[in-house]
Structure 1
Amino acid sequence: MDPVLAFVSIAAAIAVGAASPGPSFVLVARTSIAVSRRAGLATALGMGIGGVFFASLALLGLHALLSQVGWLYALLKLAGGTYLLYLAYRIWSGATAPLEVADEGRTAPAGLMRPLLFGLLTQLTNPKTALVYGSIFAALMPAEPPVWLFVILPPAIFLIETSWYAIVATAFSAGRPRAAYLRSKRWVDRAAAAAIGGLGVRLMSDTVSRP
């Protein structure tokens, strides 16, 4: 495959994957609504850094490794499922806690390192993301890729992942979604926790059913 066409194809495939609903989308949306736009953007940044990590591993042959070492993929799925259950517990347990709201309906400022790390960990503990990256790179990379392709892909993927989740953060931190969340915080948080927890349970049960 032509290297330019390969780059465009990989970027498009990663963009479609990033836009697919999953725990990353739920976390960014919920953080943007419940905390602040800045916190949501910090979470988006964490997602982008995680994307660079997986892109780098994919360039080093992640897909081939996971295909050959079945126990490693199973371990990744168990770790990812455990983290998602922990995240769901945190959100569920805080569903009834009131938010400290500042003027004009904005929540009080919070540190940005914590949402960034939550975004990064959510991305890194999702083994399906790892497998998707590995599969895309294995299928679309040229047999003899030029050096520039290795150089340009990680920052391009960072921009794709971060930009998409920044759009999500901006949209869900707008006035109307925030006001709706504040009115129904308990149920929105519990719905988000149930969605994330369900993904965690599914991930772990899939590991047990497919050793």
Structure 2
Amino acid sequence: MDVAGVLAAVAIAHFLVAVSPGPAFLVVVRSSVARTRLAGLCTAVGLAAGSTLWAVAALFGLQALFAAVPWIYSVLKLAGATYLVWIGISLWRNAGVPIRETDYPAGGAGLLAALRLGLVTQLANPKAAIFFGSIFVTMLPADPALATTVLLLLNVFLLECGWYGGLAASFSTGPVQRSYKRAKVWIDRAAGATLGAFGVKLAADR
């Protein structure tokens, strides 16, 4: 398979996983409807950066390390699960708090917080390294050229930026944000419960 074919195959497999509803979907949507479009876009960039870091780790053999030393994977998975549960509990507890009191800090600090939310949420799932490792082993040559590796990582980053950035743009429109404000308590509780469930599932999965 040539370089273009490899990139296309990886992109298709990655896209099918990215569009599946999960913690990343929830955090970028909530950042967009509860904050601003720019905050949602920063969360999207953080998510893309997190996936790219897992892809880099997979290229350097993290999947093989997990197989050789399973407790490292277990520790990372438990830490990620704890973070997701914590986010879920925070959303549930603050569901009744007006948005102005739970908003990000103004200016650059708020955008950095949004970016960090996306990054840490994506890094909370070490299964991403196993996913990338699996498709890289299947589709990449044993010793890929540097240019291929760079294009592959850029492909991962841009695909996630495009998908989650599109979600941010879609959910940060005025009508959607007004609907969110009217139903904030129930939406935040549903999002909190779902994120908590994702965390529990991550911890329980073998």
Fold equivalence (TM over 0.5): yes
1:55-101 per-residue CA deviation (whole Å, 9 max, x = no partner) reads: 11111122222222211111121011000011112211211101239
Q: Deviation of residue 32 (structure 1)?
A: 0.5
Residues 76-87 of structure 1: matches in 2 within 5 Å? 76-87=76-87
Matched, 1:204 2:203: yes
Distance 1:42 1:75 in 2: 28
Q: Secondary structure at the match of 2:87?
A: helix
1:100-150 per-residue CA deviation (whole Å, 9 max, x = no partner) reads: 39xxxxx99562000100100000111222221121112111233222111
Distance 1:179 1:73 in 2: 42
Q: Secondary structure at the match of 1:142?
A: coil
Q: Is the 8 A contact 2:41 2:165 kept in 1?
A: yes
Matched, 1:154 2:170: no
Count of residues in correspondence between the two structures: 202
Distance 2:202 2:59 in 1: 25
Distance 1:166 1:5 in 2: 25
Distance 2:57 2:135 in 1: 12
Q: Deviation of residue 172 (structure 1)?
A: 0.9
Matched, 1:165 2:153: no
Q: Is the 8 A contact 1:66 1:73 kept in 2?
A: yes
Q: Deviation of residue 4 (structure 1)?
A: 2.7
Q: Is the 8 A contact 1:36 1:109 kept in 2?
A: no
Distance 2:123 2:105 in 1: 28
Structure 1 runs (4+) greater than 6 angstroms displaced: none
Aligned Cα root-mean-square deviation (Å): 1.8
Query: 132-141 or 180-189: which moved more?
Result: 132-141
Q: Report the counterpart of residue 194 of structure 1 in structure 2.
A: 193
Residues 94-113 of structure 1: matches in 2 within 5 Å? 94-100=94-100, 111-113=110-112
1:128-186 per-residue CA deviation (whole Å, 9 max, x = no partner) reads: 22221121112111233222111211122111111110001111111222111111100
Distance 2:144 2:55 in 1: 15
Unaligned segments of structure 1, at least 5 residues: 102-106
Q: Report the counterpart of residue 59 of structure 2 in structure 1.
A: 59
Q: Is the 8 A contact 2:48 2:156 kept in 1?
A: yes
Distance 2:99 2:121 in 1: 23
Distance 1:4 1:155 in 2: 13
Q: Secondary structure at the match of 2:99?
A: coil
Distance 1:56 1:91 in 2: 31
Describe the shift of the 1:78–1:108 C-alpha distance in structure 2 as closer, same or farther (beyond 3 A): closer
Unaligned segments of structure 2, at least 5 residues: none
Distance 2:96 2:135 in 1: 42
Q: Report the counterpart of residue 175 of structure 2 in structure 1.
A: 176
Q: Report the counterpart of residue 30 of structure 2 in structure 1.
A: 30
Distance 1:117 1:59 in 2: 23
Distance 2:145 2:4 in 1: 10
